Amino acid sequence: MPALQAHDVYKRFREGREEVPVLNGISLDLERGEIVALEGPSGSGKTTLLSILGCILTPTAGRVVVDGHAVDARANGKLPAIRRTSLGFVFQQYNLFPALTALENVEYSLNVRGWGGRESRREAERVLAEVGLNDRRDFLPRDLSGGQKQRIAIARALAGNAPILLADEPTANLDSTTGGQVLDLFQSLARRENRALLVVTHDPKVRTIADRVLQIRDGRLAA
């Protein structure tokens, strides 16, 4: 069974008296260990699709199954629990907590997921070592480079063994070399830990690590 399934997903937003269609019948599957790149121009519906697959929004119509959990318009109350157990996020702006050190940033996300005590500390140390930042564990985000921040964000997404990782433009704020390093790291960790990885991107380099590339235009996946 795929880690992530979307079948005939529609999403419309209300703007004033009008309903604006953003997604128009999207279907896709994502297997564990698979890396999929999702490309598309601005306004094509990438972020909305990512929000629905990430259980942040519910679809107006259609069916989404995340790690065995069905997500539909009536499932709003269940979404935070699904996000905690099944999903890891990497954001374009890193979204690290400025007051927390690298290690604490990772550990806090584990605390939110219900991990505590020494267990969460050990897991945070493990994933921080995986992304090669053990020597920066006590640094605040302001003292780290963009690439290091994004590696912490990746460590945060990996922590807790969520089967599905969703990344929103993870290289957009990085220079070409650093972006390449981050993608290589992402690829190797996702494969080694058998996670499903969906990367929403404008960056053509993402194609080099992806098993499949999906194009979205006007709320539809192009062939």
Partner 1 sequence: MVDLARKNLLHDRLRFVITVSGVAFAVMLVFVQVGLFLGLLHNASITIEKLGADLWVTSHQVPNVDFSKVYPEVSLQRVRSIPGVERADNLIVAFMSTALPSGAQETMVVYALEDFGYWRMPWHVVSGDPSDLRRGRSFFLDESAVGRFGPFQVGDYREVLGTRLKIIGVTREARSFTTTPIAFMDYDLAQSLDPESLRGRTAYTLVKLAPGADVEAVRAEIRRRLPHNDVHTAAEWAGMSRRYWVESTGLGLNMVLTIFLGCLVGVVVVAQTLYTATMEHLKEFGTVKAIGGSNAMIYRILGQQATIAAVVGFALGGLLTLAIRPALASVDLKLIIPSSLAAFVFAGTIVMCLAASIVSFRKVAGIDPALVFRT
Report if residue 61 touches partner 1, rule: CB under 8 A.
no
By CB under 8 A, residue 92 contacts partner 1: yes
Residue 112 contacts partner 1 per CB under 8 A: yes
Using the rule CB under 8 A, which residue among 2, 10, 21, 51 binds partner 1?
A: 51
61-94: b or e for each residue (b if 16 or more CB lie within 10 Å)?
A: ebebbbbeeebbeebeeebeebbebbbbbbbbeb
CB closer to partner 1, 34 vs 104: 104
97 near partner 1 (CB under 8 A): yes
CB of 166 to partner 1, least distance (A): 10
The stretch near partner 1 (CB under 8 A) out of 11-19, 77-85, 183-191, 207-215 is: 77-85
**Please, which of residues 134-193 interact with partner 1 by CB under 8 A?**
156, 168
Query: 63-69 contacts: CB < 8 A, separation 24 or more?
Result: 63/5, 63/6, 63/7, 63/8, 63/9, 64/4, 64/5, 64/6, 64/7, 64/9, 65/2, 65/4, 65/5, 66/3, 66/4, 66/164, 67/3, 67/4, 67/163, 67/164, 68/1
Q: Least CB distance from residue 113 to partner 1, whole Å? A: 6
Q: Is 10 in the site for partner 1 (CB under 8 A)?
A: no
Stretch that binds partner 1, among 26-34, 107-115, 144-152, 179-187 (CB under 8 A): 107-115
Q: How many CA atoms lie within 13 A of 182 on its CB side?
A: 31
Asked if 54 interacts with partner 1 (CB under 8 A), we say: yes
For tokens 């499949």, the residue is 212
User: In what order do the strands lie in the sheet containing 212-217?
Assistant: 87-90, 164-168, 196-201, 35-39, 212-217, 220-222
Q: Which of 7, 12, 69, 85 binds partner 1 (CB under 8 A)?
A: 85
Q: Which residues lie near partner 1 (CB under 8 A)?
A: 47, 50-51, 54, 56-57, 80-81, 83-85, 87, 89, 91-93, 95, 97-100, 104, 107-109, 111-113, 116-117, 120, 156, 168
